[in-house]
Structure 1
């Protein structure tokens, strides 16, 4: 029992039944009811609470000030909650509650009500205007089904935090004017369903200019408008002065973050982009599809992050974007993103007055251009601080030749460290290594412009059969190279390329979805070794076969092979002798690892998953003598690890075998295991005595091995003094 004078009750929570709370029955002076939950359970698990708490316990706790029921699977509160007249803090976040009982509106002392991520919430209290002491109302992520705010919200003059305000539809609904009386608002405010504002004068009454405590502001029209055709948007907004609505919602000059979504006006108000907003660091424009030009955002002196997306009306990003007479547009901008600009064709990178020196984007470090299908031409010329460039699905944004050299889109990108090129065509002369003279010219240019790049992703580049000389010579500092969805790629480097002095820094290479790849280098193997002497990690995924010269990577430490459906066996030349980790998964035709293990005398970790055609790891070659960790899972047809007569002569430390239904026996050999896990191996009948004789065995888990009669009882079974974890489940022995 807990003392009757107890004031605070906190408890760890998962499934909370009656017995947990019966001890609180006499603690009528309790003021705090607060569950504690681990981060993992809070985000991944459903939590349940007994009805005893609502029906029997809470009605007794008349002195309760703090009540937290967040993340419980609950759909409603009892009316008796209104009897907790002293309640000041109520947290119902992450519950499935649909509506609050009217009695909550009589909790006149309530100061904090949290309804974050209550995604089933359909309405708030009709009588919420009576809760005059309410200071914080958080409904972040709870406005999916919420159609409007209750009327008389303007009476909550003590309100300091209001995460969202949903404008109602029709004369009898909540008006945006209710916000006018809430002078103490601060922090973040999102105003949504602005298409319901039919009188621009109502927006003027909000007086956002004078609410200087608000640091983050989101102004949102109906989400559906973002994806509607422009002519439909015109009809939806017929008779609504949308331009003036946004004009009257001008915030104060100290605002730091601004988002405008679904705005249906034809032009932006003059305040947007005004340099007087000296503290604005973040701006997002999304789905303003009637606007044909962007506001002069280059005039914002502190702007660091700018996102522009779904602006269908914009065809050109020109001088107006930088600002009239602005010599140094975007002086603080670090991250710039354009997405889904369906009609965008031209990006003018010059300034307003061509007779003056205009230097925009001097601090830009990350540029992303995605799904801009009509964008043609080149990127801005001078981006001295750019570190990451991502182009995705921009089929007409060509990496092209200038008048006599190449790589004009990389001119003056001396700080570029991460480059991602996706769905961007490269000129045919750059993809086919037949133009030796052009290759030399471009290689010299690339050596200056790409030397700072450390990570490169090349994805879905048509007609790319190999990486040409200009590509290799410039990337002297490259550490990570990812090549994906290049359907015509046959080799990484053609025969003409001399590799000895290139790619010396490359550590990780990932080749994904390149079905035509048959080798890394068309030249002599001895030329491949010195250039990739730092390569430590290689991933090959969704390729028809393994490169024939794989064994030449004499410094490779990790090799990951996955989703290669036609791979039957490894190349006869084997794998690199330096290999320490080999992981193979989802290779459904693979029958044996014999060739792969032939010269692999350094492998320490072997992990094989979901290879249903595999019957044995090796038929003629023993397991590498250096192997320490062996994991095999979901290889249904695996009958043996090695063929009969072969032993495992290696210092195996960990063995994990799971879901190998045809496995019948294990070979002799290991005597120093520290962990053995085996499960769902329906046909295994016995374990060799040596597998369980190790004095170092710390963990033993056997599950669902239904033919395993009994565990061996070696003479030295009493030496299993290190065993810390034992789990035996569902096997007859």
Structure 2
């Protein structure tokens, strides 16, 4: 085979197996003049001087033709590079990668390559100094074309010796990256006129003195010893800064004055930083401050649009009132913050997110001028009392255990549309004035065990569309006027164990599309006239043992229906399931000891009830005495795609002629049916052999959606904890919170239809391990 005309890229691996340089010479790489790229790799390195000597000779003989454009050397075990390496005759070379050449003590004279644009040096563990030999002895203009220079994981690199002012090094360098060089000290080249991106990370001994870099756009310094910023330097093009320097105490006024065009500033893990005053950065748009526990003084510029503060435990005030352009602010783990006054809320602010502020007591409060938590003045109060009030639209508060109410002396922000509160254990009410903003569309309060009331009465002009109240144990009543809210489309009430009845005679607005009422043990009756809710599509009545009747029937446009409880299910069967002609999803948690079949048949085999033919998903559970599923009851379910059967211990027979549309069958804790449905053996197997997915007593695992929800809550829960608890989940995907032996809070979700199974499993585990859903 003639390889002289070889084009493109040639990769040569396992060069450690080449023990004779003569074999390398025979490869005749120098004669392959059409190669564009050459990759050479040694896979294993040994502390063998003979092997190192062979490697030098082998690499010398593998010299490519001078027209090669890209060259990559990985794992080379020689102590030096051959003389051809970096020779200026390689005038077409634009990319050079040298990686994991751990025995080399110096770099080759790469600076003489006239067309080199990208240089990557990684894992050069033996190199202690980068100096004249790197630039090329006697070369007055090294690296004339270089645009990107990347140093990484050079564990012994101590110093970089620049050429000096008389040399014009790196005139076109645009990007300089230095990562994981823990012993590096000294200076960088001072004259980098074209540099646009400088990133220095994990160089623990390096003290950086930032030179004037007029073209620099992005600056990142992370994990270095110190940054010297005493004087003003030319950084007129700089747009983005990231500093993460544990010993950084301040950014000097002189340094900040040179940052006239900075738009994004990130300060992270600067443990000694006590003061930050970027108020002169008149182009600043985004400010992100994290893990600065000593920071106690901050002033903000009026141009700021996005603010994030996380882990600044000494910060007592948020002087945002002069941030006239601020739209979104996130405040997290600021434990010295006790309340945020309305005078601190900028007029343009649309979204405010507050998480894990342990001592926060009030938000959007009028405040007191003497409070150490505020930077308040008369102008702020005047601004608040006039038309320049906050336009806050979204307020989300989570895990603030000292929060008592949102406002102690006034209304909530008048433009508020979205209000969400999670796990605020001392919250008793939303505001001292009994009124919600007319603009409010979404209200969700979850796991606030002391909340007694939202408001007493809702005004007719309130725009509320979704109301969610989850595990508010002391909530005794819902606000009056609920039935007058013409925009309300969802009510979700779960775990409100003190709730007894609905207000206004139990009426609900006809605009409702979704009603979920679960785990409300004292709730005595459902709202009246529910059969008139012609827009209602989803209804779930779950674990409400005091509700024993549903006398007026169901809205016939329902698409999803989930019910538990013998009495309420009996009434549904008597009323007539078949009347729900649009129903696609039906979940029945039974408990009927008298039922022998489902659907029920009389002694002569006639159906006592008919299922809607529109069903696509059917879930039945806990029918202790049913022995078979009626063939007549299933023969018209031509759209059925999923069938779920749980906890039917005497069920032994499936219906004849299950519909061909059925795609998934799940059976759990039905021991007789499990025996009869053994693949290829059981007497019922022939009935289900055509179904694409059959799962019987399947094992559970933590799903992707569950992990998403855990991340959302910033909780860390091991899979072992999950498997030990085998936690139950709600079927509307919003989940439940459980506590397992005081170890961890779980907030999990599984696909729709699993709620019956998980509820039953929870009850079992509760007896064994004292799991509780109490706060």
Normalising by structure 1, report the TM-score.
0.59
Measured at CA, do residues 643 and 247 of structure 1 come closer, stay the same or move farther in structure 2, by a change above 3 Å? same
Equivalent runs, 1:290-301 vs 2, <5 Å: 290-301=103-114
Within the candidate set 546, 549, 556, 2:315 is matched to: 546
CA offsets per residue over residues 656-709 of structure 1, 9 Å max, x none?
A: 5556566565435476557527475374676546567554456x4748657588
| Cα distance in 2 between the residues matched to 1:542 and 1:399 | 26
Displacement after TM superposition at 1:577 (Å): 3.3
In the TM superposition, what is the alpha-carbon distance from 1:646 to its structure 2 partner?
Answer: 2.1
- Output the CA distance in 2 between the equivalents of 1:236 and 1:620: 81
Correspondence list, 1:461-480, <5 A: 461-462=246-247, 464-480=248-264
1:507 to 285, 303, 320: 285
Match for residue 391 of structure 1 among 174, 183, 200: 200
Instruction: Supply the distance in 1 between the matched residues of 2:113 and 2:483 (Cα, whole angstroms).
Output: 70
Compared CA separation, residues 719 and 681, structure 1 to 2 (3 A): closer
Q: Is the 8 A contact 1:575 1:596 kept in 2?
A: no
1:627 and 2:411 equivalent? no
From 410, 421, 425, the equivalent of 2:211 is 410
Q: Could you say which residue in structure 2 is the equivalent of 1:603?
A: 392
Q: Is 2:366–2:409's contact at 8 Å kept on the other side of the alignment?
A: no
Q: Following the alignment from structure 2 to structure 1, what is the Cα–Cα distance between the partners of residues 194 and 115? A: 16
* Structure 2 equivalent of residue 537 of structure 1: 306
* Residue 290 of structure 1, CA deviation: 0.9
- Is 1:333 aligned to residue 146 of structure 2? yes
Q: Distance in 1 between matches of 2:174 and 2:483?
A: 57
How many Å separate the matches in 2 of 1:663 and 1:278? 75
- Partner residue of 2:722? none
Residues 186 and 594 (structure 1), Cα distance of their counterparts in 2 relative to 1, 3 Å cut:
same
Displacement of 1:610 in angstroms is 3.5
Instruction: From 326, 335, 346, give the equivalent of 2:159.
Output: 346
* Aligned match of 1:717: 510
Change over 3 Å in CA distance of 1:682–1:534 after alignment to 2: closer
Q: Which residue pairs with 1:566 in the alignment?
A: 335
Listed as ranges, the gaps of 5+ residues in structure 1 are: 1-156, 158-180, 226-232, 401-408, 432-438, 494-498, 522-527
Using the TM superposition, give the Cα deviation of residue 269 of structure 1 relative to its aligned residue in structure 2, in angstroms. Answer: 2.8
CA gap of 1:327–1:709, structure 2 versus 1, over 3 A, is: farther
The C-alpha deviation readout for 1:554-603, integer Å capped at 9, x for no partner, is 42524544542634522568523323221112334444425489957321
1:485-500 correspondence to structure 2 within 5 Å: 485-493=269-277
Cα-to-partner distance string for 1:166-203 (whole Å, 9 max, x where unaligned): xxxxxxxxxxxxxxx87887655654443343344444
Contact 2:66–2:91 (Cα < 8 Å) also in 1: yes
Mapping 1:226-625, distance limit 5 Å: 233-235=46-48, 238=51, 241-350=54-163, 358-400=167-209, 409-411=210-212, 413-426=213-226, 442-443=231-232, 446=233, 449-462=234-247, 464-493=248-277, 502-521=280-299, 532-548=301-317, 550-555=319-324, 557-564=326-333, 566-567=335-336, 569-570=338-339, 575-578=344-347, 579-593=349-363, 595=365, 601-625=390-414
Report the counterpart of residue 219 of structure 1 in structure 2.
40
Q: Show the counterpart of 1:38.
A: none
Question: What is the alpha-carbon root mean square deviation over aligned residues?
Answer: 4.0
Partners of 1:705 and 1:730 within 8 A in 2: no
Aligned counterpart, 1:58: none
Which residue matches 2:619? none
In the alignment, the residues of structure 2 paired with residue 609 and residue 509 of structure 1 have an alpha-carbon distance, to the nearest angstrom, of: 22
Q: 1:577 to 1:627 in 2, by over 3 A?
A: same
- Partner residue in 2 for 1:109: none
The alpha-carbon distance between structure 1 residues 247 and 661, as it changes in their structure 2 partners (threshold 3 A), is farther
Match of 1:194 in 2: 15
Change beyond 3 A, Cα 1:618–1:571: closer
- Alignment-derived partner of residue 425 in structure 2: 637
Decide whether the 8 Å contact of 2:95 with 2:118 is kept in 1.
yes
8 Å contact 1:416–1:453 — kept in the other structure? yes
What does the per-residue CA deviation read over 1:619-639, in whole Å, with 9 as the maximum and x for residues that have no partner? 444321111122334x16265
SS in structure 1 at match of 2:309: strand
How far off its partner does 1:519 sit?
A: 1.5
1: CA distance, partners of 2:43 / 2:58 = 14
Task: Please report how far the alpha carbon of residue 291 of structure 1 lies from its aligned counterpart in structure 2 after TM superposition.
Answer: 0.8
Distance 2:421 2:3 in 1: 63
Question: How far off its partner does 1:618 sit?
Answer: 3.6
Cα deviation, 1:542-561, whole Å, max 9, x if unaligned, reads 11143535144342524544
Question: For 1:350-390, what per-residue CA distance to the aligned partner results, in whole angstroms no more than 9, with x for missing partners?
Answer: 17xx9xx5322111111122232333322112211111112
Instruction: Confirm whether residue 654 of structure 1 aligns to residue 438 of structure 2.
Output: no
CA drift at 1:245: 3.0
Q: Secondary structure at the residue paired with 1:268?
A: coil
CA gap 1:358/1:511 in 2 versus in 1, 3 angstroms: same
Distance 2:64 2:325 in 1: 58
Question: Aligned partners of 1:210 and 1:656: how far apart in 2?
Answer: 74
Distance 1:571 1:242, change over 3 A: same
Deviation, structure 1 residue 296: 2.1
Structure showing greater Rg:
2
Cα distance in 1 for partners of 2:500, 2:88 equals 80
Distance 1:571 1:601, change over 3 A: closer
SS of the aligned residue for 1:548 comes to coil
Provide the C-alpha distance between the structure 1 equivalents of 2:113 and 2:541, rounded to a whole number of angstroms.
66
Q: Contact 1:591–1:615 (CA<8 Å) still a contact in 2?
A: yes
Distance 1:709 1:215, change over 3 A: farther
Instruction: Tell me the secondary structure at the aligned position of residue 457 of structure 1.
Output: strand
Distance 2:50 2:537 in 1: 67
CA contact (8 A) 1:460 1:486 kept: yes
TM-score using structure 2 length: 0.56
Say which is worse superposed, 266-275 or 198-207, in terms of deviation.
198-207
Tell whether the 8 Å contact from 2:310 to 2:334 is kept in structure 1 after alignment: no
- Specify whether residues 238 and 275 from structure 1 end up closer, same or farther in structure 2 by C-alpha distance, changes over 3 A only: closer
The Cα offsets for residues 70-128 of structure 1, whole Å up to 9 and x where unpaired, read as xxxxxxxxxxxxxxxxxxxxxxxxxxxxxxxxxxxxxxxxxxxxxxxxxxxxxxxxxxx
Q: Is the 8 A contact 1:296 1:321 kept in 2?
A: yes
Cα distance in 1, alignment partners of residues 471 and 183 from structure 2: 56
Q: 1:398 to 1:725 in 2, by over 3 A?
A: farther
Write out aligned runs for 1:31-50 (5 A): none
Work out the number of aligned pairs and report it: 500
